[in-house]
Structure 1
């Protein structure tokens, strides 16, 4: 494929950049690094996008979205990350949204789509369970039909942002007959429903974004079932197969590299800038070469996705592995580049600023947290081991 810059894409990038510069308030830009921005910032930014006509940047026009191409979506993500705007609710925009567009009833769409686009409702994902690991088919959370309701009992774990969410999309077992994949269904559940308990899990970065979520005789209307009973596995495969080109989190990688360059230019050892030291320059060059290769691969996968080519599945898993491993190496290099400051001075992105300013304080704040959080990037979204199994299986079929 042709990797030359697209003039039309450059114009689109300028349009996005102009909007972010001129229409997004200063207090919603240059925000501290974080796994996801606080709830009030996420909703406020979403409402701002909606007012500008950009409330659904990842959906097709026929579904009420912007109708942007995959390359345009990637540009939008890159510019938002570069500007430091709040992170969007990726669970609903990139995962649940396409599912609702493809499988939901008209009543379900009328209930949820306006609230999503207008920034009135946040979602979380209820897939993983204790003891199940990446084997979603082994889930045990049960939904038993009782008249016009399902009665849900069970437990989910690693439920990101459940404590801030209004609704959850949930995989449940509605049957034990036949193959274990055949008895799974897909439910939408209001988090205010009696019987739901959310308990925090503090992760290695000392932040609270993970939870364990318990369901004790939770009554869910049958009308909240997406698709038919037993279709949950098929719907989940559709959900997980969407947007492989985003698996490497390229905008975050580019931000990390820009920051690492800043650190190298600003830090000095024995009067010499860090970037002038051969060992650091070599490390920087190797990391940048890998980043450039991933960037080209993202373009290739995006093109294959637009063509609905099956190779996008294999390459998407490859991107997930290489991209997340590179996240870990670059964030480690960032902390190393700042020396003692990296490990101590920039502990938490939302801590008050220290009384005595540190070098690169605004850029590097929260850097240790980010490095710790990225230890999990080769686990969440499908572990590297699972991705390698997917690659082997798909290549064997070829």
Structure 2
């Protein structure tokens, strides 16, 4: 990988910054901390991006994307984070989109990709099951062929945003007699199909973003299968590398650093700003150094993916480990930086209803406690850190 500065990258940054200042509406700027913007905000911003040819920053130009390289995509993410722009649907753009571009038929792409680009179709991921989370090959949800349909029965869990999604991309077992990975297929399912039930899971942060999803004799057209029957593991392995990068969630880490720096100069202990306290300044500097190292790792994984290097999966796992660990420590420092106010979960609608005055730092602190609670799970979802370390150890031994 070439680490030399790109002379044209600063010009590209200026172009992105000018674009955002011109086209990102003021009402969509300054999004509070959170893992996902509202569907309305995402759809509105997606339409604006698409109208100007920027609807799919992470896709190749061949498939309707911008064709940006990893460095340009990182600049775009950084500038969007700086203004607090809504996030795109990560399931559609960073996970399913690349799989569709690599493995789907032209008819399947024509059906789904334009709707994603226009912000008209949101997706969720149906992988994890009770007893089959990080070990996806142990999944038990079955799809039995019945003419031109599969009949799907089973349960998925931890299905993020299934209650808001229009479609789900689903791993199912189509051949129970085959070896674990060999009997899995990859299906696209309309969430309005009869037989699908979504039940909420309320997490420790008090939010509803996770669900249990049940499939009871759900009929899915065979034409909604990606690739050949029993060949779903190939697409899954491809997707998991992208998921590790998405789970590292560099844009959120960039936002955390912005807020930490604001707090460093605005929060005081007695008469001394946090930035002037050596212990805080040291922790902040260490985290910023780790964040910059993670940015380089994101570049490196993208380069390895393009080169189809055998170490891509190892580096993807390392990226997931480092990124999620940093998420937890950064959000922990955010809560600490708020002092006594870090213990308060702010509910503006409720506060207004009872006539309460806003507390000091309420606007800046909005979402910090919730974000810290949510990130307790980041080392579990997308493959636990323990499993990722096992993958690294196993594959490095084989190389």
- Same fold, judged at TM 0.5 (above): yes
Instruction: Name the counterpart of 2:385.
Output: 384
Q: Is the 8 A contact 1:57 1:65 kept in 2?
A: yes
Q: Is the 8 A contact 1:33 1:366 kept in 2?
A: yes
Is the partner of 1:331 in helix, strand or coil? Answer: helix
Change (3 A) 1:169 1:22: same
Is 1:396 aligned to residue 393 of structure 2? no
Q: Is the 8 A contact 2:245 2:319 kept in 1?
A: yes
Instruction: Compute the displacement of 1:294 (Å).
Output: 2.1
Q: Is the 8 A contact 2:249 2:323 kept in 1?
A: yes
Is 1:132 aligned to residue 153 of structure 2? no
Which digits, 9 at most, give the CA deviation of each residue in 1:245-292, with x for residues without a partner?
A: 555322222221221121121111121112212222222222222223
Q: Is the 8 A contact 1:134 1:386 kept in 2?
A: yes
Is the partner of 1:233 in helix, strand or coil? Answer: helix
Change (3 A) 1:247 1:34: closer
Change (3 A) 1:171 1:351: farther
Give unmatched runs, 5+ long, in structure 2: none
What is the TM-score normalised by the length of structure 1? 0.95
Which digits, 9 at most, give the CA deviation of each residue in 1:218-242, with x for residues without a partner?
A: 1111111111110111111111123
Q: Is the 8 A contact 1:168 1:191 kept in 2?
A: yes
Q: Distance in 2 between matches of 1:246 and 1:149?
A: 32
Is 1:339 aligned to residue 339 of structure 2? yes
Instruction: Name the counterpart of 2:358.
Output: 357
Q: Is the 8 A contact 2:94 2:246 kept in 1?
A: no
Q: Is the 8 A contact 1:71 1:299 kept in 2?
A: yes
Instruction: Name the counterpart of 2:154.
Output: 154
Q: Is the 8 A contact 1:348 1:366 kept in 2?
A: no
Which digits, 9 at most, give the CA deviation of each residue in 1:325-373, with x for residues without a partner?
A: 11111110110111121120x5358876784333333332110001111
Q: Distance in 1 between matches of 2:349 and 2:8?
A: 38
Instruction: Name the counterpart of 2:163.
Output: 163
Is the partner of 1:318 in helix, strand or coil? Answer: helix
Is 1:266 aligned to residue 262 of structure 2? no
Change (3 A) 1:374 1:350: farther
Instruction: Name the counterpart of 1:113.
Output: 113
Q: Is the 8 A contact 2:16 2:76 kept in 1?
A: yes
Instruction: Name the counterpart of 1:371.
Output: 372
Is the partner of 1:164 in helix, strand or coil? Answer: coil
Q: Distance in 2 between matches of 1:127 and 1:335?
A: 32
Instruction: Compute the displacement of 1:300 (Å).
Output: 3.1
Is 1:218 aligned to residue 218 of structure 2? yes
Listed as ranges, the matches of 1:199-238 within 5 Å are 199-238=199-238
Q: Is the 8 A contact 1:71 1:302 kept in 2?
A: no
Q: Distance in 2 between matches of 1:135 and 1:245?
A: 19
Q: Distance in 1 between matches of 2:95 and 2:158?
A: 17
Q: Is the 8 A contact 1:32 1:350 kept in 2?
A: no
Q: Is the 8 A contact 2:169 2:188 kept in 1?
A: yes
Change (3 A) 1:17 1:151: same
CA RMSD, 1 decimal: 1.9
Change (3 A) 1:340 1:166: same
Q: Distance in 2 between matches of 1:11 and 1:251?
A: 21
Give unmatched runs, 5+ long, in structure 1: none
Q: Distance in 1 between matches of 2:225 and 2:243?
A: 24
Is 1:60 aligned to residue 34 of structure 2? no
Is the partner of 1:211 in helix, strand or coil? Answer: strand
Change (3 A) 1:237 1:213: same
Q: Distance in 2 between matches of 1:53 and 1:329?
A: 37
Change (3 A) 1:300 1:370: same
Change (3 A) 1:277 1:69: same
Q: Is the 8 A contact 1:349 1:366 kept in 2?
A: no
Q: Distance in 1 between matches of 2:105 and 2:285?
A: 51
Is the partner of 2:248 in helix, strand or coil? Answer: coil
Q: Distance in 1 between matches of 2:299 and 2:104?
A: 31
Instruction: Compute the displacement of 1:397 (Å).
Output: 1.0
Which digits, 9 at most, give the CA deviation of each residue in 1:36-70, with x for residues without a partner?
A: 11111111111111111111111111112111112
Q: Distance in 2 between matches of 1:232 and 1:312?
A: 19
